[in-house]
């Protein structure tokens, strides 16, 4: 059974950094891309980027370039999202999600991690 | 970047009625790699339709997807109470993998 279990809620001050983790289980970790998606309160979904767990290659949405880093630890089947220079507009629920091999879709999602940025 | 525009923003309907949701792309979506998700409050999104017209596992057959190129439609033939939610489209034809702004299906 596939599971993506994310780390708990975080409260950060503006200018700080946050690291969210996503532990995968129930499937071959290196066989599926993982994406990160965020959702600000009351707003829609925003795609942030994706990582290939095999080699660690990444693709980021341009607006996050320079502030975001997606990494993985294959030994523990865990993905990480690092976001720096936080602003109040980064307050959101952050999701990790697995990309289905065929058909192009995000078939399994983590439960979400609320990151609150407030002074 | 492909921009996905969903309409209407809100659909007010009653159980048993038909819902028709639109997702229009600013350029053609390669291989019609268009997914529809359903999201309920406090929950992660769930795949309803992928590849424009394939139902995901466990999704009832009252849900159907159609379209190609730049115009896609999600149809719910007869709304059940559990179908009232927000629906998003996402394209996997190119990077970035953009989402539409969502359509809320609410009780009339």
Q: Supply the DSSP string of A45-97, one letter for each residue.
A: EEEEEEE-TTT--EEE-GGGTTTEEEEEETTTTEEEEEE-S--GGG-EEEEEE
Residue B27 has which token pair? Answer: 């350029």
Put simply, the answer to whether A45 touches B92 (Cβ < 8 Å) is no
Put simply, the answer to whether A44 touches B101 (Cβ < 8 Å) is yes
Q: Which of A62-66, A98-102, B19-23 has the lowest mean pLDDT?
A: A98-102
What does the pLDDT look like over B57-83, one tens digit per residue? 999 999 999 999 999 999 999 999 999
Q: Is the pLDDT of residue B91 over 90?
A: yes
Angle at A48 between CA A45 and CA A49, to 5 degrees: 130
Q: Which residues of B touch A109 (CB under 8 A)?
A: 44-46
pLDDT at site A83: 98
pLDDT at site A103: 67
Q: Is the pLDDT of residue A102 over 90?
A: no
DSSP state, residue B69:
T
Among residues B8, B97, B57, B16, the alpha carbon closest in space to that of A34 is found at B97
User: What is the band of A81 on the pLDDT scale with cuts at 50, 70, 90?
Assistant: very high
Put simply, the answer to whether A112 touches B88 (Cβ < 8 Å) is no
- Contact criterion met (CB below 8 Å) for A99 and A34: yes
Residue A117 has which token pair? Answer: 């940025």
**How many residues are recorded in chain B?**
108
A33 touches B: beta carbon within 8 Å: no
User: What is the band of A104 on the pLDDT scale with cuts at 50, 70, 90?
Assistant: confident
Which conformational region is residue B53 in: left (phi greater than 0), alpha (psi within -120 to 50 degrees), or beta?
alpha
pLDDT at site A72: 95
pLDDT at site A101: 78
What does the pLDDT look like over B3-31, one tens digit per residue? 999 999 999 999 999 999 999 999 999 99
Q: Which residue has the tokens 């602003």?
A: A87
- Contact criterion met (CB below 8 Å) for A64 and A81: no
Q: Which residues of B touch A110 (CB under 8 A)?
A: 44
Put simply, the answer to whether B99 touches A95 (Cβ < 8 Å) is no
């Amino acid at each position: 059974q596939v599971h993506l279990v994310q780390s708990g809620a975080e409260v950060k001050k503006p200018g700080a950094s946050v690291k969210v983790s996503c532990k995968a289980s129930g499937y071959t970790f290196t066989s599926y891309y993982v994406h990160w998606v965020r959702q600000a309160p009351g707003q829609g979904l925003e795609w942030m980027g994706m990582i290939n767990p095999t080699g660690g290659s990444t693709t980021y949405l341009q607006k996050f370039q320079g502030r975001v880093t997606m990494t993985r630890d294959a030994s523990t089947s865990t993905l990480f999202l690092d976001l720096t220079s936080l602003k109040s507009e980064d307050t959101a629920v952050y999701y990790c999600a697995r990309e289905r091999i065929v058909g192009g879709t995000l078939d399994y999602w983590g439960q979400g991690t609320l990151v609150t940025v407030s002074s | 970047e492909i921009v996905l525009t969903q309409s209407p923003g809100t659909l007010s309907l009653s159980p048993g009625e038909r819902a028709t949701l639109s997702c229009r792309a600013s350029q053609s979506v390669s291989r019609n790699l268009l997914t529809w998700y359903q999201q309920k409050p406090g929950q992660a999104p769930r795949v309803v339709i992928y590849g424009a017209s394939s139902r995901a596992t466990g999704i009832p057959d009252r849900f159907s997807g159609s379209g190609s190129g730049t115009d896609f439609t999600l149809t719910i033939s007869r709304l059940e109470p559990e179908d009232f939610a927000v629906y998003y489209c996402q394209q996997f034809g190119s990077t970035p993998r953009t989402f539409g702004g969502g359509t809320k299906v609410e009780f009339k």
